[in-house]
């Protein structure tokens, strides 16, 4: 049974105003028009709408709360969650290639497959990887028994495969010239090639003064 309170990130005793605030905030964040009509955001937006339509109506909310309570009472809350299977049809793939994942859990009332979001306790999803990070795409299955406050996690890493060495070289070169995330060491987000250049310059200067000192 879907937990609409979980979808909106609110407690079961949330007021009508709390429900409206949560809906407005999440609908703005996940609206497909603001996220290039990405399937993930479209699915999440539908879940948020579904939750809001149910919880904002007093009659529907009352019926939903009764069903949710009955579901929670019948749920095996004293047994920890288990991931029985979590597989992908391939762990090496090219960008844009279709991937099929399957999963099955037990004793879990909240199941998430990241980066996609909430899912059923068992199922299948077909998707295409549009972007790898450092040549890898990470999938994580979270199975939670919310009444027991226990979660188990299992991951799958899919490695990027290139058409040929030329494409791999091209991607490597592009990565070298791409701006990097700002860190304490790289405050301006300089590219890898720029950082390498300045590293060589600093090393050359240090060697120059070291040799000069020795002479």
Find how far residue 85's CA is from the centre of its chain.
19
Model confidence pTM above 0.85: no
Backbone angles phi, psi at 183, to 5 degrees: -135, 180
User: What DSSP designation does 56 have?
Assistant: T
In the predicted model, what is the mean pLDDT of residues 192-197? 79
Q: Where are the domains of the chain?
A: 4-74, 82-160, 165-214
Domain 4-74 matches domain 82-160 at the CATH topology level = no
User: What DSSP designation does 34 have?
Assistant: G
pLDDT for 88: 95
CATH number listed for the domain at residues 82-160:
2.60.40
Q: Are 64 and 54 in contact (CB under 8 A)?
A: yes
Task: Give the C-alpha distances (Å, rounded to integers) separating 41 from 105, 191, 195.
Answer: 24, 30, 36
Task: Give the C-alpha distances (Å, rounded to integers) separating 93 from 65, 86, 133, 145, 161.
Answer: 44, 18, 13, 33, 5
Q: How many CB atoms lie within 10 A of CB 11?
A: 9
Q: Are 108 and 48 in contact (CB under 8 A)?
A: no
pLDDT tens for each residue of 113-133: 999 888 888 889 999 998 898
- Per CATH, is 4-74 categorized as 1.10.1040.10? no
Q: Which residue has the higher pLDDT, 169 or 161?
A: 161
pLDDT for 75: 58
Backbone angles phi, psi at 172, to 5 degrees: -65, -45
pLDDT band at 202 (very low <50, low <70, confident <90, very high): confident
In the predicted model, what is the mean pLDDT of residues 23-40? 82
Strand locations in the chain, DSSP E?
82-88, 92-93, 98-106, 110-114, 117-119, 122-128, 136-145, 150-160
Q: Report percent pLDDT > 70 for the chain.
A: 89
Q: Are 27 and 44 in contact (CB under 8 A)?
A: no
Q: Are 176 and 193 in contact (CB under 8 A)?
A: yes
pLDDT for 32: 79
pLDDT for 164: 59
Residues 142, 155: Cα–Cα separation, whole Å = 9
């Amino acid at each position: 049974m879907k937990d609409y309170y979980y979808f909106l990130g609110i407690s079961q005793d949330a007021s009508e105003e709390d429900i409206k605030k949560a809906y407005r905030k999440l609908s703005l964040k996940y609206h497909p028009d603001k996220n290039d009509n990405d399937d993930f955001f479209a699915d999440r937006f539908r879940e948020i709408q579904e939750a809001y339509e149910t919880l904002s109506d007093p009659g529907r909310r009352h019926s939903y709360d009764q069903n949710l309570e009955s579901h929670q009472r019948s749920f095996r809350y004293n047994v920890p969650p288990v991931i029985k299977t979590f597989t992908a049809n391939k762990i090496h793939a090219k960008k844009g290639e279709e991937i099929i994942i399957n999963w099955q859990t037990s004793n879990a009332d909240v199941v998430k497959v990241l980066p996609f979001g909430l899912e059923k306790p068992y199922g299948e999803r077909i998707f295409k990887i549009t972007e790898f990070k450092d040549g890898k795409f990470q999938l994580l299955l979270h199975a939670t028994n919310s009444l027991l406050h226990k979660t188990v996690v299992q991951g799958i890493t899919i490695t990027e495969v290139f058409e040929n060495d030329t494409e791999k070289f091209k991607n490597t070169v592009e990565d070298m010239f791409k701006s990097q995330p700002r860190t304490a060491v790289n405050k301006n987000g300089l590219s890898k090639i720029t950082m390498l250049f300045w590293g060589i310059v600093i090393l050359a200067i240090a060697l120059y003064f070291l040799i000069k000192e020795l002479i």
